[in-house]
Amino acid sequence: MTSTTRPKPRERLLAAAEELFYSEGVHVGVDRLCEAAQVSKRSMYQHFGSKDEILVEMLRSRAPQVMAGLDVAPDAAPRERILAVFDALHEQAQAPGFHGCPFVSVATELKDRDHPASVAALGYKLELNAFFEEQARLAGATDPVSLGVQLTMMFDGASAYSVVRGGGSPAARSAVVALLDAQGV
């Protein structure tokens, strides 16, 4: 018989932070976070110096998962990889628990660009931008740097649109097609 090992307090805190900060916002209190993670405050402070440290670590550990969930066609041609990101976003946005891009949400909620969590969020957005730029470059875009920024803005806009309006944003894909076509991709 195999036994399931319960995650350690650090992992439980990160999992609770991911769920609560995404669904309720970063201003969830330490008491609520500890209750959801089933750890004491003392244990929380043994693993993290502050709630902000949990937030930063949660964003850092979440970034690869988010990117993997978007880059669903890694073997496709660059144009198709870009479009697949927007198709994946459209699909994700239709789920009832979709609350937009967690990185934009954190930065927007904090309203402080120098906050360590805002810096971590920016790091992910730069990673996404670099992905788009690289795909644009591989596809022969006339200005891959500009296109990378434009695609990141389209992603963030489509994500926000989906939160405000509910559901996906099918118009984002056609706008991305127009951007790609204009760049010769």
Asked if residue 18 has pLDDT above 60, the reply is yes
- % of the chain surpassing 90 pLDDT: 84
- The rounded mean pLDDT for the chain is 93
Q: Positive or negative, the Cα torsion across 84, 159, 169, 178?
A: negative
pLDDT computed for residue 64 by the predictor: 87
Q: What band does 3 get if pLDDT is binned at 50, 70 and 90?
A: low
Q: What band does 141 get if pLDDT is binned at 50, 70 and 90?
A: very high
How many C-beta atoms surround the C-beta of residue 114 within 10 A?
A: 7
**Element housing 70 (H / E):** helix 51-70
Domain residues of the chain, as ranges?
9-182
Cβ atoms of 126 and 169 within 8 Å: the answer is no
CA distance 56 to 54: 5
Structure confidence by residue, pLDDT tens digits, 63-109: 888 888 888 888 999 999 999 999 999 999 999 899 999 999 999 99
Global pTM reads: 0.89
CATH classification for the domain delimited by 9-182, as one of 2.120.10.30, 1.10.357.10, 3.40.50.360, 3.30.930.10:
1.10.357.10
